[in-house]
A and B are shown apart, each in its own frame.
Chain A
């Protein structure tokens, strides 16, 4: 029996008991679940477990190998940190949703075949939407609906792709798929939606900032990273990913400069970071895939840390717009310090985690001769310094004093942030201790060479100097209360407007058509009545004598025809 139970089941099934408990016991139980799940997962080692026969299919619930193992570690760690951070959440439904969501992510990365992957893929969507809805605002309700439509849509595409793939190949195995057939193309598209490819990305920007302070932390950890894993498993070395990834690193940083909601800035930043991973997967060499996976690991922790610090600010002040905040370092010095560690990590300062993993991808791009992509990634790295390294901490904690005085973040939140910060520093300073041995391929990469450290410091310092110069000369764009149009405009404004216009045209056409038809019908009916009606030529009752004459005439006509032949 042991071994047939997937590690994901501990969090998913265990979550169902949460509402039955209360108080400290409930809190202890919530935290115990991911820890138990983690111990069980580690005890399994590597291999395939839990073969189940359904109809004629043989499904494999669990596959732990070099690629899925590190994601298993990551998601359990992220679940523990997130749940500590979410201890203050009063609605225990949030804990239930978070546990099911984290469990689904664990289940998805360990899925042994495409069907099991699909099941957890959909469960991810269904459980996570509650983290958005539970905020309880009108905006979060609508954002949740839009989120759910996109996520379930991705699942439907994926299932269609899987079925077509099964029809053509007879295989449900989730190994390298590659583009080229309709089935795998659809699966690729489904992965791309969850991975926030350009033009498919807006569900993330739209929904994540509408969740609760802790909801956004969970959301940032799982969905997109499952998609990164799925791409690494199914489409490593697919060249188009190099360019998709490079585009993902570049376009969001422009939005991040002008966005006012600091959690939305971090959502754009997420797409930017995922871009590095997608690019690495596209390059497909051992160094590149290692870099992508290592960056996914680090990103969950430093992006989680940044979102936790903004969550703590939102929790204490009720505000998270850059235009409303400032000077909070006086009230929340510990949160400020922890946020700065996250900012240094995402900016890839030497000794912090981003430096190690991001450079693996950038180096791989150079090695494989992608010069243009290399320049794009460097530009994006400098852009990260602007929005995540400076903008986030500066506008929240420093800048002008907003006059807000609040309490420091609650202890549970500080503990969660401290654990994440410890990982950021540890993975950056001692990458060989924990991170490298976990990666799918053996690592020969040495990040700490003089040349590399100097080059990185030059890029970072002068990126920062540019911001300092723009700010001190008054050229830096101020934080303004606003929304910026993105691709969601297509379905939030253009779509409804177009539908309205189409409806108006349809009403016009319908009225026109109906009128024309009615006139036609009317004249037909009038005509029919005139000729076939009681008084019409064809409708009258004829006299017997008249009829006999007509019959006689007809017979005479036939007789003449007969004889003249």
Chain B
């Protein structure tokens, strides 16, 4: 069955084919700029929310949990949460990681 899984590893293909979308640094920069712009927008929305709160106008967000009243709570929680997650997991490798054939030996 495995033989049927067609797999052509063509080493000369790299030169023959046109440069793909993400092979051009310009396109990568474009996508990343779009992403950073999105990040900036959601940060600013919380500032708008805070200003509206201070001037007593109708707020964007109705908090269900006291922490949600903290400006940029979700921004901070998402960033710090994932940064910690990855760093801790990387550390866990020291304890948990074994060679690929560990159980086969």
Contacts and interface: CB of A to CB of B under 8 A. Distances in A.
Given A254-B85, A454-B42, A470-B86, 20 more contacts: A258-B93, A258-B96, A316-B7, A318-B7, A330-B20, A366-B64, A367-B64, A378-B81, A379-B81, A382-B81, A383-B85, A398-B22, A405-B8, A455-B74, A458-B42, A461-B35, A463-B81, A483-B97, A483-B103, A485-B95
A470 B83 contact: yes
A470 B88 CA distance: 13
A24 interface: no
B91 to A, nearest CB: 9
B82 A258 contact: no
A457 B42 contact: yes
A564 interface: no
A394 to B, nearest CB: 11
B99 interface: yes
A255 B64 CA distance: 31
A110 to B, nearest CB: 34
A465 interface: yes
Contacts, number: 186
A386 B102 CA distance: 27
A475 interface: yes
Given A90-B1, A254-B88, A403-B14, A455 B68 contact: yes
Interface centre among A367, A386, A451, A486 (most CB of B within 10 A): A451
A330 B17 contact: yes
Contacts of B79: 462-463, 465-466
Contact of A314 (B5, B39, B62): B5
A406 B88 contact: no
B78 interface: yes
19 contacts: A136-B1, A254-B89, A258-B93, A258-B97, A330-B17, A383-B82, A383-B85, A385-B78, A403-B13, A405-B10, A406-B8, A407-B6, A454-B60, A458-B72, A466-B82, A482-B93, A484-B97, A485-B98, A493-B103
Contacts of B39: 461-462, 465
Chain A interface mostly helix, strand, loop or mixed? helix
A470 to B, nearest CB: 5
B76 to A, nearest CB: 8
A257 B90 contact: yes
Contacts of B74: 455-456, 458-459, 462
Interface string B41-62: 0110110010000000000111
Interface in A389-424: 398, 401, 403-407
The 9 closest A-B pairs by CB, nearest first: A257-B89, A462-B78, A458-B74, A451-B61, A466-B82, A462-B79, A459-B78, A463-B78, A477-B90
B30 interface: no
Nearest to A398: B22
A404 B8 CA distance: 7
Contacts of B83: 466, 469-470
Interface of B: 1-2, 4-11, 13-14, 17, 20-23, 32, 35, 38-39, 42-43, 45-46, 49, 60-62, 64-65, 67-68, 72, 74-83, 85-90, 92-93, 95-100, 102-104
Contacts of A492: 103
A91 B2 CA distance: 12
Nearest to A327: B20
B80 to A, nearest CB: 8
Contacts of A467: 82, 86
Interface centre among A386, A483, A486 (most CB of B within 10 A): A483
Interface centre among A366, A406, A459, A492 (most CB of B within 10 A): A459
Given A258-B89, A459-B77, A477-B90, A315 B5 contact: yes
Nearest to A470: B86
A258 B93 CA distance: 7
Contacts of B89: 254-255, 257-258, 477
A476 interface: yes
A363 interface: yes
A404 B7 contact: yes
A317 interface: yes
Nearest to B43: A458
A486 B97 CA distance: 10
Contact of A318 (B2, B86, B96): B2
Contacts of B7: 316-318, 404, 406
A212 B2 CA distance: 10
A464 B8 CA distance: 33
A450 B104 CA distance: 53
A13 interface: no
Interface string A473-510: 00111001111111000001100000000000000000
B77 A378 contact: yes
Interface centre among B13, B62, B81, B93 (most CB of A within 10 A): B81
